[in-house]
Amino acid sequence: MARKFFVGGNFKMNGTISSIKEIVDNLNKAQLDPNVETVIAPPALYLLLVREHAKKEIGVAAQNVFDKPNGAFTGEISVHQLKDSGIDWVILGHSERRTNLAESDEVVASKTKYATENGLNVIWCCGESLEQREAGKTLEVIAAQLAALKSQISDWSRIVIAYEPIWAIGTGKVATTEQAQEVHASIRAWLAKEVSQKVADETRILYGGSVSEKNCKDLSKEKDIDGFLVGGASLKPAFVDIINSKV
């Protein structure tokens, strides 16, 4: 079975009521490729606004979720609260949270376990720093991140993997198509060896790292790149071109 192309838009800590409504209205009016699964992730404050205004074909993701059902966890959002609000996706393990908020591989894996076991779909992020890439440790770093995930989960069907080289996020630098494909292929090979061939064949692996309307078509042609997790470009009208990159 062919893997359905997937494009996620991570708004990060950007937007206002008016600007996010404008983004959603633009997506609602656009002719989006029906063969692409599109999911957008606004800041938590605007999740309900986006879910209310976006057409049902567009998925909505939170940018974080906690790994406890409820309780005295100030500032956190629960899986139940997201599902209660019609939110079916969450981004976990993004390098900004791993780096800025010191979320370890184990914390990310625990959140992913709790989210998937309780009905959320997860865009699970991995990637290496510039220093790690220059030291030739890219695959080693990603394998360690994957191993931490594997140790906590058994059902991979709710997980989409996003490979995001940290050195290419928001920098304008982009991994070459060959560099991206090499890492995507290695992730798929790891899944085949460490999990199962079925999981390797079915899991979608996205590329994230300064994806734009200029480079998306070439990247989308690589056999192990199943879509994109887009940052800054998801705030612009050109996001539609990225969603339609396979057309």
Decide if 164 is catalytic: yes
Percentages of the chain per state (helix, strand, coil), in multiples of 5? 45, 15, 40
* Residue among 180, 156, 150 at smallest CA distance from 167: 180
Residue 79 to residue 119: CA distance in whole angstroms = 8
* Helix H or strand E segment including 15: none
Dump the DSSP string for 143-167: HHHHHHHHTT-S--TTEEEEE--GG
94, 96, 103, 184: which is the annotated catalytic residue?
Answer: 94
- Coil, strand or helix at 17: helix
Cβ contact 38:240 at 8 Å: no
96, 103, 164, 184: which is the annotated catalytic residue?
Answer: 164
Residue 48 to residue 173: CA distance in whole angstroms = 33
| Helical spans, DSSP H, in the chain | 17-29, 47-53, 79-84, 95-100, 105-117, 130-134, 138-150, 177-194, 197-202, 216-220, 239-243
Active site residues: 94, 164
